[in-house]
Amino acid sequence: MHKIWIGNISLMLAMSIPLSGHAEATSSTDAAFAKPQLRVDLGGRKLHLYCSGEGATTVVFDAPSGDGGWSWYKVQPEVAKHTRACVYDRAGLGFSDPAPRPNTSANAVEDLHGALAAAGIKPPYLLVGNSLGGANAQVYAYRYPDQIKGLVLVEPQTENETARLDTVTAGKIKQVYAMVKQQDAYCLAAAKKGFKPGSEALNNCVGDTIAFYGPVLGKAVQTITKKPSYWRARVDEYNAIDTSDDQLRALRKPFGDLPLLVLTRGVSPYAVPDQPQSPMNKATEDENEQIHREIASLSSRGKQRVIPGASHVIQADQPDAVVQAVLDVLAQIK
């Protein structure tokens, strides 16, 4: 994990996974997330899905940029106690095969739509997405509105977010994002050479997955995030964020009366530890919350909820809050 400091902004970079919250004792659920379950053919390459539970509405989870479906390992099993719940890995991530194209929102939605149909997982769906996964969920809802009965957007990426946050930080956000790209390129180069045990590159790029995911899932995450194919998909996906923003921008319109809940972090990932909040940091967090309020306002049944104690990857910091949000929206569908 690297810490990047830019003026009054700091960013803790877990380079391949959200290293938030320690793993509990290994369970059968962890073991299920640690190996391929259903790999659906998409015309010569396979996309990985893992589903459990039963119910009239299927909840489908989409992970943040560069992350696998295991991002939801603390949330999906709890939701599956109430209805069918599925996670998936975008192309080149997790247990999915690489694709000859980056995971833009449009491409990811096309893959997910095809995989769900091929697997016989019929709508209606409630989509849950964090960060880039939140942008993907919105694009899916616009492209296939008849299939979607609800949205839970967890710190979602939105089409004007980067520009707006860059404005209130006087250009600092884009500097941070440029450093993320530089770090990803460094990790891709290191993966191609092969990570050496105990090396700085291994620590910076892969990290201590065992400590955060436990011995079974953590080992699987470690194995995958050491592969060059993972880093190539991650680099391509991150480099295509502007394209994904353009795709969402082109589709943007109100969601009508679609049940919609937007979850916002209560803890800034840019705060300087053990120091008072700076004016720049306050402006950043205020703007982030305002963006989320605007997204919620696109539905007559939209709401926004701030989650205390949670940073950007809320499902890692406060998984119960995400579970409750899903159940609250699910209740509106029934």
How far, in Å, CA of 72 to CA of 21, rounded?
Answer: 13
DSSP conformation class of 146: G
How far, in Å, CA of 314 to CA of 292, rounded?
Answer: 14
Render pLDDT for 263-277 as a digit per residue (tens, 0 to 9). 999 999 998 888 999
Q: Decide: 45 and 101 in contact? Cβ < 8 Å.
A: no
Render pLDDT for 84-112 as a digit per residue (tens, 0 to 9). 999 999 999 999 999 999 999 999 999 99
Task: Find the mean pLDDT for residues 121-146.
Answer: 98
Render pLDDT for 3-28 as a digit per residue (tens, 0 to 9). 333 333 334 443 333 333 444 444 67
Average pLDDT, the chain: 92
Task: Find the mean pLDDT for residues 292-298.
Answer: 98
The CATH code of domain 2-333 reads 3.40.50.1820
Task: Find the mean pLDDT for residues 118-136.
Answer: 98
> According to the model, what pLDDT value does residue 16 have?
33
Q: Decide: 69 and 133 in contact? Cβ < 8 Å.
A: no
